[in-house]
Amino acid sequence: MEWKGVMPAVTTKFTNDDQLDLEMFSINLKAQLDAGVEAIILGGSLGEASTLTNGEKQKMVEHATNFVEGKVPIVMNIAERSTKAAIALAKNAKDWGAGGLMLLPPMQYKATDYEVVTYFKSIASNTDLPIMIYNNPVDYKIEVTLAMFDDLLKVDHILAVKESTRDISNITRIRNTFGDRLKILCGVDTLALESLAMGADGWVAGLVCAFPAETVAIYKLVKAGRIDEAIAIYRWFFPLLELDINPQLVQNIKLAEVATGIGTENVRPPRLPLMGKERERVLQIIRESLENRPKLPDYKSL
């Protein structure tokens, strides 16, 4: 697979009785494919990974793999408490049909740099799937430093980073240190245009779940050098993108999916749907955005 373009970290769709909603999942997958995404990422933070059973993860990967029919790769997120569990999931993901992996550091333990590198290498040594490291010290309290990447890149199939440090200058540091050896995908919606302009190869996106065409259009326009057009869409999009950098990002984005007709609001407890003033605030942002939704250029031809 190529680590470039827009890769939606899709939400997990649930029915009213808390089962996987594969019918709505298919509707959303079709919208993503129609918009021109380059891969589908399953079981991430936005996908409520910590609440999913391995059986549910298997159903999602197999269903998505069958649905996309090879048009784009399916990437499985690995977010586990133990190395043993992470290795097992990585092996299973390939058997289920995944074409790549996204790896988070160990969950619920603030590992040392050496422990994190050893953890990633242990997983990589048990799979030949291409790997993207998720670097998000803001939410997960562990930073994968340049020195750690220098060691990790000795593994041939560790190829990319989901860059979520929220330090835009880190893109230049990575490029200056590793050139094109490490592909960079922005992992923060509100820094996406800036990251792409600074040379990021792609965008692991959140609001793409509800607005796939607008997300891909921004990416394509930036890469085509049509920055002013991209900025115009991005400024319209920004209030929505800010819903991604919020503890209730799952609820926020699922509300947006409902508004665009490609999702449901159902979340898995302990998460609960938004209530009261916060619900109305988010709905108002979504309503205003839909009322002013921009007409997109023919970005698919770029």
Domain boundaries, given as residue ranges, for the chain: 5-301
Q: What pLDDT sits at residue 39? A: 98
Q: Domain 5-301 is in which class?
A: alpha beta
Percent over 70 (pLDDT), the chain: 100
Please say whether the beta carbons of 164 and 140 come within 8 A.
no
Q: Would you state the pLDDT for residue 78?
A: 97
* pLDDT, average across residues 43-52: 94
CB 39 within 8 A of CB 73: yes
Query: Which residues lie closer than 8 Å to 70 by C-beta, 6 or more apart?
Result: none
**Range 234-250 average pLDDT:** 97
Tokens coding 32: 């993503």
pTM: 0.97
φ/ψ region of 166 (left if φ > 0, alpha if ψ in -120 to 50, else beta) reads: left
pLDDT digits (tens, 9 = 90+) for 256-279: 999 999 999 999 999 999 999 999
> Above 90 in pLDDT, residue 108?
no
- CA-based end-to-end distance of the chain: 21
For residue 115, the tally of other CB atoms under 10 A from its CB is: 15
Q: Which two tokens stand for residue 5?
A: 């373009």
